[in-house]
Structures are given as C-alpha cells and as structure tokens.
Amino acid sequence: MSSSDEDSVSYIRKYTIDAEMLNTFVTLIDEEEKEAESSRMANRPKIPRRTVPRNHVEAAARLYNHYFAPQPVYPADYFRRHFQMPKEIFLRIVNDIHSFNAIQPLPKYFAFSHNAPTDAVGRPTLNIFQKCSSAIRQLAYASTADQLDEYLKMGSQTSADQFNTLFLQDKAPAVNFTLNGQQFTKGYYLADVIYPELATLVKSFKCPMDPKTSKFKRFQESARKDVERAFGVLQGRWRILQQGACPLSINKIKRIMYSCVLLYNMVVEYNECAISPLDLELIPDTPPARSWDERVDIHSRMTEELRDRATHNFLRLPIS
C-alpha cells in the first residue's frame, strides 16, 4: 500500500462516525426530547373543561310552541319569512333526514341527526327540529354557528355539525348535446372578457366585426344578465351567498351553492312555478369507485382540457 493510500484510509477512519456511536447519540437525543416534553406537560396549568348547562327540553318546547304547535305563536307567513321556505318543505326536509338510511353505515353527519333522545348520562338531547332549524337559519341569514345558542340551546360545534348534514351530495347529470352538427360533452358558463380563456367559458366578442359576431355578442350578454339577475335573487333568499368565500374551502363553497340552489328550486316547485321537471334518471345513483392513481389521472386530464385555448376559441364558431 502506498503512502497516499494509507493517508486516505486514516482520513476516512478519522472522520467516519461509527454506526453504534451514531445510534447511541440519536437515542440520547430522543430521550432528552421526551424528558423535556414531559416536563413541559407537567408544568402546564391544567384548565378544567367548562360545561355550559343547556336546557334542551325547554328549547325544544319553545321552538315547538313558536312554529309547530296547532296554534303557533308565529303563523305560516312568519315561518316562511324566518326560514325562507314554507313549513311543508321544512317538514319534508326533517322527515327525509331523519329517515335517511340509503347508505350503511350512515355518514358521520347523518348519524349525528339520528342520535338517541338521551345522551350517555340520560339527559335529553337536541331533537331533529332544533338541528334543522339551526342549519336553515345559517343558510338564510349567514349567521355564525353559535348565534342561536341562546334560543336553540345548541353550541357552536353542534351547530356546525348539523350545518354539514344539510350539504347535499354533489351529483350532477351528464351533459351531452349537439349544436350545428358539433358534439359537446360539458356544461358551459357565460362570461365576459375579464375571465381567462378556458375551455368551459363562452365569452362574447370584444370587438365584433360582422353582423354574425355582433348578434352573438348581443344575445350572449343578454343571457348573461339573466343569469346574474337569477343569482341576485338567490342571494336575496340565502344570505350566506353574500358573504366572502375566501375563508371557505372549494368543496364547502361548492356544497353551499348546491344546497342553496336545490332548496330554492324546492320552494319554486312548491309554488308551482317550476319551468321543467327534474329528470332523476340522468343522475347516477352511485359514483364510480376510483383508486388514487385514477383520480390523479382524471384530474390531470381535466385540467389540461380546461386550459385548452383552442377549444375555447372553437366554442363560438358553431354557435355563431
């Protein structure tokens, strides 16, 4: 062995950490961290859990006497104003949630609505009328979860859980139609020029140069104004849609919108003002079960299709 090789070996031995020594060092660090954590937990002052006594029976009786008794304090027109729907629709929602058993085991929030009349220590719990009243009021008035605590005797967490119960499954019918000989497979949204050029947005022409594009611009803007007015009516009934959406997740925003639209359509149908009936056969009963890799592939493909500017520009050709 040459002198240079001997120098290399001695250098490696000098600066190489023995595996057993490294394990011992790591073990000592872990033990010190556990001791420090135990010391912090021992020195932390213990804050006893506060229990607010709520008389659920009294609140249930008050709600019943105000709205659901044979001779209620507030007549039907007051109920409609306070809940933004007729009493018959509210009772239909209560019955459907209470009798829901299509999925077993029940989803978390539906199981919450099927709770026993008493809790673990035998105290009466909240009934289905109190829970649904809290959820509907949150949609109608954009109230916080604990705003009705004094009236319904329902804490913020319980109100939030019931609010999630009202969110409906995000099922939508498949969209397939033919226009001027061209096949379309997605729903499309009318938008103005400030929106990006996405494959699902149909924008008007900024500077129409011929009668055909001018006519398309006029009809597109007219239809878009109708949609904006309809959304304004929806906001007037469900105040939660007037609130900022930044603190909410995309999934919650979507479910809030679905819930408000469907509840409004139920009211319109009850008033016999529906334009067309809902064809439930177009909505799949159960969504297909997909693996994580399949969902990622579908999301990537749909994102690529959504950002296709060529498709966006092609949309207006067969229409106009």
Write out the chain's pLDDT in tens, 320 residues: 455 555 544 544 444 445 565 566 557 667 777 777 777 767 766 667 677 778 888 888 999 999 999 999 999 999 999 999 999 999 998 888 877 776 677 666 666 666 666 666 677 778 888 888 888 888 888 877 778 888 888 877 777 776 766 655 555 556 777 766 777 777 788 888 788 888 888 888 888 888 888 888 888 888 888 888 888 888 888 888 888 877 777 778 888 888 888 888 888 888 877 666 665 555 555 666 777 778 788 878 888 888 888 777 777 765 55
What pLDDT is attached to residue 73?
Answer: 93
Q: What are phi and psi of 197, to 5 degrees?
A: -85, 80
Distances (CA, A) of 55 to 18, 23, 69: 67, 59, 20
The structure tokens listed for 54 are 């709520």
Contact call for residues 103 and 114 (beta carbons, < 8 A): no
CA 267 – CA 272 distance, rounded (Å): 9
Model confidence, pTM? 0.64
What is the rounded CA–CA span in Å between residue 177 and residue 50? 59
Q: What is the pLDDT of residue 75?
A: 92
Tokens of 124: 């009466």
CB-CB contact of 158 with 125 (8 Å): no
Measured CA to CA, the distance from residue 238 to residue 257 in angstroms comes to 10
Taking the C-alpha atoms of residue 126 and residue 129, their distance in angstroms, rounded to an integer, is 8
179-195 as b/e, with b when 16 or more CB fall inside 10 Å?
eeeeeeebeeebbeeee
Give the position of tokens 């033919």. Answer: 178
Cβ proximity of 240 and 258 under 8 Å: no
**What is the DSSP secondary-structure string of 53-79?**
---HHHHHHHHIIIIISSS-SS-HHHH
